[in-house]
Structure 1
């Protein structure tokens, strides 16, 4: 049986968490300090959009981050390598139930994998949250692969955790939901077809309002990843649905966040 992959969250590398939080606050969105990845050299701020969230990630210790290996702590090591020069979207995460089965599927598709490793984060109030991570090694035509996370909980339980933690319903402009990620890549047809096969995602093809051909992958929750032709070779934009009359358009480094019509 195919493993189900759904879009969990997206990481942006930033140099200053407070500045990122302020940029969101100025347009009615809330991102709040999450905590330190103790022993891994990074810390984050988080913004929740229903069961999909955004993670701003920065360094608190470059030496700790660089001490991580790519097979066990890819995100930490690469934060140490890329910051402060690169400030922009890093890569998205896909959620699965049963990370061992996910690893078996990906390995059968010929992808080189790191180890399945435990993750942890200490929150501002001292609570430790734990999960499991799987790093896909290498890239696809220069595009970073997503990484895989297993929260050891189903969607309803995870959403209830967010509710109980007070992480939802915090945006000043009202309820905001993640709709789409835009990937600009040199060969959207080939890359989107490979990712559709790799992660067992439905793929559709269309033309956007600017006349660009796009390739959409359905990543759960009515959301999609849209691949269009471009030179950036990564995510350039996250799009959201917002209450009527409450639009926003924010740029942090090379990353753009904006509201679109539902």
Structure 2
């Protein structure tokens, strides 16, 4: 079963600055740690097991040397501006996902091994899989992650360590909004990637026709244009522009990304 894992928000400078904006709004955003081999560092906000990752460059030379597609997208995007970059889907069998995607005609990356030393000294490890980018589209495909711990063990660890507090355990990312110029082509591609059909519907909140994928309790909502009430430059191509938490009450603009939290 595929589950929504996290969205990566590329930020300039130190990731803690974006986290501090969340903290000022009463949200328990925390320092993540360093990806030593990739030259990056992050801060996080957990909504249940799904989370927002503020990702920043810590060692520019290391990022240049990295063959990880996410790190290369980070470098490319930050040459223009910060903002949302890519979403990540969780699986418990990344090799099976790789086989299915390749059977459907996609070219996939190697399975990357990742690790990060948390602020409390705990070593976290995982596997990642990417799809080769289609240059005819400007929206990055989702990538996949398999954690080396079960969902239950991770939730227990995050709660005991204080990275998840209070009602965070019951929160989730209700929806992620994207703007996509070629909606029919994107729908067909993502239906293959996610192995499920999109639903054509009307979003009454934003007053727009859209295509929606339901990935466990998160909706991925694709619009043909940015609603007038949002200021999105589009300099980096098609990207997510809005993240909505299930208990959100107010709109906030953080590092060129919109959040309803």
TM-score by length of 2: 0.87
1:241 to 236, 246, 249: 246
Give the Cα separation in 1 of the matches to 2:190 and 2:171.
27
Match of 2:51 in 1: 53
2:138 to 142, 164, 167: 142
1:120 to 115, 119, 127: 115
Other structure's SS at 2:44 match: strand
Aligned length: 248
Q: How does 1:49-88 map to 2 (within 5 A)?
A: 49-69=47-67, 73-83=68-78, 85-88=80-83
Higher strand share: 1
Matched, 1:161 2:157: yes
Give the Cα separation in 2 of the matches to 1:86 and 1:21.
18
Matched, 1:250 2:248: no
Q: How does 1:1-262 map to 2 (within 5 A)?
A: 4-15=1-12, 16-69=14-67, 73-83=68-78, 85-139=80-134, 141-169=137-165, 176-209=171-204, 210-220=206-216, 222-230=217-225, 232=234, 233-242=238-247, 247-259=249-261
Cα RMSD, aligned residues only? 2.1
How far is the alpha carbon of 1:75 from its aligned partner? 1.6
Other structure's SS at 1:194 match: helix
Per-residue deviation, residues 188-247 of structure 1 (Å, max 9, x unmatched)? 233123212221124222112243111110111x211001112741101001122xxx72
TM-score by length of 1: 0.87
How far is the alpha carbon of 1:175 from its aligned partner? 5.7
Give the Cα separation in 1 of the matches to 2:89 and 2:78.
23
Runs of 5+ unmatched residues, structure 2? 227-233
Give the Cα separation in 1 of the matches to 2:124 and 2:169.
27
How far is the alpha carbon of 1:250 from its aligned partner? 1.8
